[in-house]
Structure 1
Amino acid sequence: MSVPRLLPACDRRVLRVEWLGRRHYDDALAIQTARRDAVLAGAEDHLLLVEHWPVITLGRRGDERHVLAASAPIVRVNRGGDVTYHGPGQLVGYPIVDLARRGADVHAYLRDLEAILIEVAAVFSVVAERRPGFTGVWVGNDKLAAIGVGIRRWVTMHGFALNVADLRAPFAAIVPCGLAGTGVTSLATASGVTPQLTAVAAAVTSAFATRFGYDAVRETQS
């Protein structure tokens, strides 16, 4: 990424990236909320990256009938979409971005997230694509990454979940995203190699910063 060397500090667009490690969903949600409130107050955009302990989340349109077996705690959250699973072997990203700074276009934001995940998949030799009429990233008829966001005063919360390891067994407990007849895949399943989660996180950070045009990235661990 090209970074202007003489850009005034007040004009620099900085992305703060926080690696949260493996966290329970409620803990990460509390951090999200705190960072969202900070961005609403004028702070720099954030990207939280986390690996969750097993949890099933239901979005605003979530139908509990799509939970076939209560194999993990179930949490209802204020994001778009239906039901999904989070757990070890999956990289979850929570961008906390002020869309008012970039045209206040939610549709474009979702397409940008898809483009980032498609680019990351390619880094690990997986050819992924969009699927017309659906949000997310796919390999054939199988979903590689789910996307569901929440927005308050143009500041985003929630985000995306990219399957890294083979997660077909835990996903069998739900109808993923409420889409009967579709499956799930992962970087490991599609490529035959399971990448390190830290390597995937680095690829996501790079693609995200480039796609959204940040001038600098500041990374921390929490």
Structure 2
Amino acid sequence: LIDVQECQRRGIEVHWVDRGGDVTYHGPGQLVGYPIMALGALDSTGRLPRADYVAYVRRLEVALINTLAGFGIVAGQRRGLTGVWVQPDMASRCPSCPPAKRLAPAKIAAIGVKVSAAGVSQHGFALNVAPHMDDWDLIIGCGLQGSPSVSMEELLGSDVPGLEQVAEAAALSFARAFDRELEWVPAARVLASAAAPHPASSSYAYSSPQGRPHAQG
């Protein structure tokens, strides 16, 4: 809703990326996770069946829904749409939310992914923990007119957990959703392992307690 020059004036960087999901926002106070995973066996044409990567997005949503449930927030999916949503009847728990968020389902986590020709996932999700929500007014999130965004902080107030606590909960939920074993390792080890070849049977989800979760399949 503003041009690139105005974004620059506000200190906002604009990046064009090759994934689905239309325009979104990343900023301080969000938990951003970009899983890099082999999503399954390729078919006879050397491609990943569509059902496999649609199922991947649905599992991402389930992992985030379960993460939010652990902090007392009831969220869910919306038919035909991607992301994680809080329904209007939750507005009673959101005294600081503006009226628009009391009239329609509000998105608390956005998802935008790409799957390479080799069947490896790229990009991922952004969960609104405690970002500056006014920045969402600068875009039409995911291209969905009339669909507001909401944060955990708006719903929980002063009880909102810190990013590190949410990251650890999300890593555990992710491992359960994808039936992976979870091993906590330093972020430096995760980055080093990314440069080394891994067998297709690798079955660990990695995360650093000091940083955001990383996944590897």
TM-score by length of 1: 0.66
Distance 1:190 1:144, change over 3 A: same
User: What CA deviation, in whole Å up to 9, does each residue of 1:153-188 have, x standing for no partner?
Assistant: 100010000000153211111111111111110111
**1:176-212: CA deviations, max 9, x gaps?**
1111111110111122232110000000110111111
Of 208-217 and 72-81, the range deviating more from structure 2: 208-217
Bigger Rg over Cα = 2
Q: Is the 8 A contact 1:117 1:204 kept in 2?
A: yes
Match of 1:156 among 121, 127, 136: 121
Query: Partners in 2 of 1:114 and 1:101 — Cα distance?
Result: 22
Aligned 8 A contact 2:34 2:123 in 1: yes
Q: CA RMSD in A?
A: 2.1
Tell me the CA shift for residue 217 of structure 1. Answer: 2.0
Q: Compare 113-122 and 93-102 and name the one that shifted more.
A: 93-102
Of 3, 6, 27, 1:87 maps to: 27
Q: Write the mapping of 1:55-70 to structure 2, written as runs, cut at 5 A.
A: 70=7
Q: Which amino acid is the alignment partner of residue 198 of structure 1?
A: E
Q: Which amino acid aligns with 1:188?
A: E
The whole-number CA distance in structure 1 between the counterparts of 2:125 and 2:114 is 11
**Paired position in structure 1 for 2:108:** 144
CA distance in 2, matches of 1:144, 1:119: 13
SS of corresponding position for 1:205 = helix
Report runs of 4+ in structure 1 exceeding 4 Å deviation. Answer: 65-69, 101-104
Equivalent residue, structure 2, for 1:181: 146
Partner residue of 1:198? 164
Distance 1:173-1:101 versus aligned 2 partners, 3 A rule: same
Q: Could you tell me the TM-score, scaled by structure 2's length?
A: 0.68
List gaps (5 residues or longer) in structure 1. 1-64
For 1:203 and 1:120, the matched residues in 2 are separated by 6
Relative to 1, partners in 2 of residues 1:210 and 1:81: Cα closer, same or farther, differing over 3 Å? same
CA contact (8 A) 1:66 1:175 kept: no
Rate the CA distance shift 1:111–1:195 in 2: closer, same or farther, 3 A.
same
In 2, Cα distance between equivalents of 1:184 and 1:167: 11
Q: What is the alpha-carbon distance in structure 1 between the residues aligned to residue 185 and residue 41 of structure 2?
A: 21
> Whose strand proportion is higher, 1 or 2?
1
Equivalences for residues 1-80 of structure 1 within 5 A: 70=7, 71=10, 72-80=12-20
Task: Give the length in aligned residue pairs.
Answer: 158
